[in-house]
């Protein structure tokens, strides 16, 4: 739903527009709140809807694109992908271990691209995200040590 009344899309739209304006370096971390209100919502014409300017775009990937540009988006996707891949490998190698299965689901759910989320660069809710991710990775590390992989 990309209508003018959808504030969820409007938050993403503002971030996408900021990323298009400064695609290489972005507008800087936590810069969305400062620049979104000053954007011309008619540019680009192909991007539907109306901007809803909150503190951040409410999506990790859109926020990384808007605030750190293509380089930051690529780095973030590489980081998310490597975390998910490490957990998936541990799950595949030890399918009967409930911790390995849980460790795979946690980052997959947290870093799923099409969801509303808090700010990547800081909110108290990030404590839960990174704690759960760290716990999932610690389970994989202990599994690898038991198997003499690391």
Per the CB < 8 A criterion, the answer to whether 93 and 147 are in contact is yes
Three-state helix/strand/coil letters over 89-110 = HHHHHCCCCHHHHHHHHHHHHH
pLDDT value, residue 93: 81
Q: How confident is the model at residue 123 (pLDDT cuts 50, 70, 90)?
A: confident
What SS3 state is found at 59?
coil
pLDDT value, residue 64: 93
45-96 per-position pLDDT tens digit: 888 878 888 788 888 999 999 999 999 999 999 999 999 898 888 888 877 8
């Amino acid at each position: 739903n990309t209508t003018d009344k959808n504030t969820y899309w409007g938050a993403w739209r503002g971030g996408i527009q900021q990323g298009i304006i400064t695609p290489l370096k972005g507008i800087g971390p936590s810069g969305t709140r400062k620049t979104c209100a000053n954007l011309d919502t008619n540019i680009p014409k192909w991007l539907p809807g109306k901007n809803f300017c909150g503190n951040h775009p409410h999506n990790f990937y859109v926020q990384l694109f808007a605030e750190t540009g293509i380089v930051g988006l690529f780095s973030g996707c590489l980081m998310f992908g490597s975390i998910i891949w490490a957990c998936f490998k541990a799950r595949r190698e030890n399918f009967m271990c409930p911790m390995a299965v849980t460790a795979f689901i946690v980052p997959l759910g947290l870093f799923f691209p099409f969801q509303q989320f808090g700010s990547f660069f800081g909110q108290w809710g990030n404590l839960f995200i990174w704690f759960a991710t760290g716990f999932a990775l610690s389970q994989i590390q202990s599994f690898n040590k038991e198997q003499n992989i690391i």
